[in-house]
């Protein structure tokens, strides 16, 4: 019998790539639980699914619900039987979290508790995946690559709220024996990303001959860096984890019972190098300005970094080089310019 996976925030950027992967590689049915606000956009699902046959599209059911409220009996009935939960819904806009911190506590902590409480009532739940972030570890000095169980050091309300939701997931694993996996990933990019994000913003500004702001250290000489990863690679990693058989926690994790996995891009790249790749992909010059990072964006960090060694030891790492992925996204985005609109 086909499985049913409940994906929270399915109309969001990363989640809709996960849905695409599931439709392409399984016969599973999908319930997308969304409130359709700033991050959720049904146009993403519609655009992505337009290439699938009608019978495949019928496997996706969209249910409206705001997880700041508990899942009530009527919504539960509409969702139906669930085998797997992938909790990707979250408030993720760092600037907004600095201005409205309680909004992010509600979206990332309270909402997570509500989906965890719902999960407790599901008979024979196979897996719940909580999608966390590299930002819970805070800034990474040069040469440091945080492992799955390193200490946290949140530097803004967004990352603190994600860490809070993550600790609730750990607690529900320990207290109620829920079958939970936690993932940390870094800066994700890909098709249909919101145009405010760095890569689509760079594509647009290079196309229009505008100046790109590159955040750097106080000397304005060292750009910020990240391990960028394509959303399709994140989806591939998520499916890899769901298919893990007989997984046993390694002893070096200190007796922790809730497994955590870093999903990391192959290459670290600074934001100036990234902008240059984007410009070269379009055959256009790059106009840029280096600015003092912390003066212009307090609460943000110059460098994040995770170790991908654990996932690599299990047999997973991205299969396609970052430069090729960026070229793919630039080509797709220029062919679909509506996704560069600030109104998307």
User: Is the Cβ–Cβ distance between 22 and 232 less than 8 Å?
Assistant: no
Rounded Cα gap, residues 136 and 156, in angstroms? 9
Q: Where are the alpha helices (DSSP H) in 177-307?
A: 198-208, 231-242, 271-282, 293-296
CA nearest 185: which of 121, 247, 229? 229
Q: How far is CA 177 from CA 144, 165, 170, in A?
A: 33, 17, 10
Q: Max Cα separation, the chain?
A: 60
- The catalytic position among 118, 130, 146, 158 is 158
Q: Determine the Cα–Cα distance for residues 296 and 247; give it in Å rounded to an integer.
A: 44
Output the six-digit token pair for 55: 């019978």
Neighbours of 32 (CB within 10 A): 24
Q: Give whole-number Cα distances, 161 to 10, 65, 304, in Å.
A: 20, 20, 17
Nearest-CA neighbor of 272 among 292, 284, 289? Answer: 289
Please tell me the total number of residues recorded for the chain in this structure. Answer: 344
**Which residues in 126-165 are b (16+ Cβ under 10 Å) and which e?**
ebbbbbbbbbbbbebeeeebbbbebeebbbbbbbbbbbbb
Q: Are 305 and 146 in contact (CB under 8 A)?
A: yes
Determine the angle formed by the axes of helices 231-242 and 13-25, rounding to 10 degrees. Answer: 60
Judge whether 158 counts as a catalytic residue: yes
Residue partners of 128: CB distance under 8 A and separation at least 6: 84, 85, 86, 87, 115, 116, 119, 169, 178, 179, 180, 181
Q: What amino acid positions are annotated as catalytic residues? A: 158
């Amino acid at each position: 019998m086909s499985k049913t996976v409940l994906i929270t925030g399915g109309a969001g950027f990363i989640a809709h790539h996960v849905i695409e992967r599931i439709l392409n590689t399984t016969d599973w049915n999908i319930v997308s639980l969304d409130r359709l606000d700033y991050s959720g956009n049904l146009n993403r699902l519609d655009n992505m699914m337009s290439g699938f046959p009608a019978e495949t599209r019928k496997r996706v059911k969209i249910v409206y619900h705001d997880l700041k409220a508990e899942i009530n009996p009527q919504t539960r009935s509409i969702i139906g039987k669930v085998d797997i939960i992938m909790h990707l819904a979250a408030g993720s806009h760092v600037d907004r979290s600095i201005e409205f911190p309680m909004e992010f506590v509600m979206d990332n902590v309270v909402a997570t508790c509500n989906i965890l409480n719902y999960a407790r009532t599901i008979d024979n739940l196979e897996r719940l995946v909580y999608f966390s972030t590299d930002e819970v570890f805070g800034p990474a000095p040069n040469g440091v690559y945080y492992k799955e169980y390193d200490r946290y050091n949140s530097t803004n309300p967004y990352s603190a709220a994600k860490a809070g939701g993550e600790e609730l997931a750990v607690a529900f694993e320990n207290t109620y024996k829920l079958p939970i996996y936690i993932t940390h990933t870094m800066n994700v990019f890909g098709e249909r990303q919101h145009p405010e994000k760095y890569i689509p913003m760079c594509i647009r500004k290079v196309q229009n001959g505008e100046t790109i702001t590159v955040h750097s250290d106080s000397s304005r000489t060292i750009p910020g860096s990240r391990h960028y990863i394509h959303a399709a690679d994140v989806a591939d990693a998520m499916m890899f984890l769901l298919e893990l058989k007989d997984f046993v926690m390694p002893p070096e994790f200190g007796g922790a019972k809730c497994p955590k996995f870093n999903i990391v891009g192959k290459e670290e790249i600074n934001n100036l190098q990234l902008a240059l790749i984007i410009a070269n992909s379009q055959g256009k010059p790059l106009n840029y300005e280096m600015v003092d990072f912390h003066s212009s964006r307090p609460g943000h960090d110059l460098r994040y970094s995770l170790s991908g060694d654990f996932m690599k030891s299990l047999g997973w790492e991205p299969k396609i080089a970052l430069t090729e992925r960026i070229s793919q996204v630039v080509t797709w985005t220029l062919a679909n310019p509506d996704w560069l609109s600030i109104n998307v």
